[in-house]
Amino acid sequence: MAEVRAKANKKVVLKDFITAGFPKESDMEVVTTDTVRLKVPEGSKAVLLKNLYLSCDPYMRSRMSKHDEPSYVPDFVPGSVITGFGVGKVVDSSHPDFKVGDFVWGMTGWEEYSLITETEMLFKIRYTDVPLSYYTGLLGMAGFTAYVGFHEICAPKKGEYVFVSAASGAVGQLVGQFAKLMGCYVVGSAGSDDKVNLLKNKFGFDEAFNYKKEPDLSAALKRLFPEGIDIYFENVGGPMLDAVLINMRTHGRIAVCGMISQYNLEKPEGVHNLFYLVAKRIRMEGFLVFDFFHKYHQFEEIIAQYIKDGKITYVEDKAEGLENAPAALVGLFAGHNVGKKLVVVSHE
């Protein structure tokens, strides 16, 4: 019987739950643990991956804290490997849908090799003629989130007025471009002048502003949307949401994707202008991309064609090496990233 090869496995673990505030690099640890067998267990339907790229995503902050009430994704387990979306190559498989050599994206571990036993959130990559790293963002969860949130939740029409917060991030940059492809007027907000320039000059937003330089957010929105906002793609929450509610048009739609301004607060900020939902008959709806996975292949086809036709511009912000993964994730909450933040574990 042939000997099964094994390798040491470097991984990122969470030391302990974070009670409040921004995550720190010291909350995580990069360790090289016991070896991983490069063979799936007999009789299982598991897939063994060599991880290539890992996605840094805002929702991961919530998983670093302990919740008395269960959230939509489980809390991380202190002392155990952090998990998130990533891209990998199949090293071994006993699952009929995944063969050795296939490239996949989905939920994996922040480690060099991951044994995936729950394969419901694993997708075979069908377009290998585009950069595989795009499946951490544009062709992965971020892109699919932008597409679903804008097209399914907002039901946009040509010529409508669209506002996107955190617009230079992985999701926001794509929402703006989808809106432009629909023939909408699009404005984005970001936290630096460089990001504002990126929105206007690279991503094709009609206008953009640095929210840190605006003493009155409502006045800024009124200046850029004199006729009001039809669609707001919500990524930040807090004072921005309050300002948007004042400036929405009748029968406007708000897709609530995330609220990154609130994730590190001990006590979330209140929203004071909710009555505008009534007065202006606004529909505000939260969504989870998981509910739309049955539409993923349809989305993948559309976006792959957009890429080939040069209709989509996409910016990645890569951190090289698993040892730099904690700093990459922490930097996300300080706004250090420009575009999609990801970690390169291996170039194959």
Mean pLDDT, rounded, for 215-239: 95
Predicted model pTM: 0.84
Indicate the range of 148-152, 207-211, 287-291 predicted with least confidence.
287-291
pLDDT at position 42 is: 86
Q: How confident is the model at residue 280 (pLDDT cuts 50, 70, 90)?
A: very high
Q: Which CATH architecture has domain 6-137+315-344?
A: Alpha-Beta Complex (3.90)
Mean pLDDT of 290-316: 91
User: What's the whole-number mean pLDDT along residues 184-202?
Assistant: 95
> Domain ranges in the chain?
6-137+315-344, 141-290
Of 175-184, 229-238, 249-258, 264-273, the range with the lowest mean pLDDT is 264-273
Q: What is the pLDDT of residue 3?
A: 52
Average pLDDT over residues 103-110: 95
pLDDT above 90: percentage of residues in the chain: 69
Query: What mean pLDDT is predicted for residues 106-127?
Result: 92
Per-chain mean pLDDT for the chain: 91
Greater pLDDT, 149 or 19 = 149
Residue 2: predicted pLDDT: 46
What pLDDT sits at residue 1? 39
Highest-pLDDT range among 60-69, 121-130, 156-165: 156-165
Per residue, the 3-state secondary structure of the chain, as one string, reads CCCCCEEEEEEEEECCCCCCCCCCHHHEEEEEEEEEECCCCCCCCCEEEEEEEEECCCCHHHHCCCCCCCCCCCCCCCCCECEEEEEEEEEEECCCCCCCCCEEEEEEECECEEEECCHHHEEECCCCCCCHHHHHCCCCHHHHHHHHHHHHHCCCCCCCEEEECCCCCCCHHHHHHHHHHCCCEEEEEECCHHHHHHHHHCCCCCEEEEHHHCCCHHHHHHHHCCCCEEEEEECCCCHHHHHHHHHEEEEEEEEECCCHHHCCCCCCCCCCCCHHHHHCCCEEEECCHHHHHHHHHHHHHHHHHHHHCCCCCCCEEEEECHHHHHHHHHHHHCCCCCCEEEEECCCC
Q: Does domain 141-290 have CATH number 3.40.50.720?
A: yes
The pLDDT of residue 4 is: 61
Instruction: Assess whether pLDDT exceeds 90 at residue 246.
Output: yes
Inform me whether the pLDDT recorded for 115 exceeds 90: yes
Residues of the chain with pLDDT > 70, as a percent, come to 98
Asked if residue 339 has pLDDT above 90, the reply is no
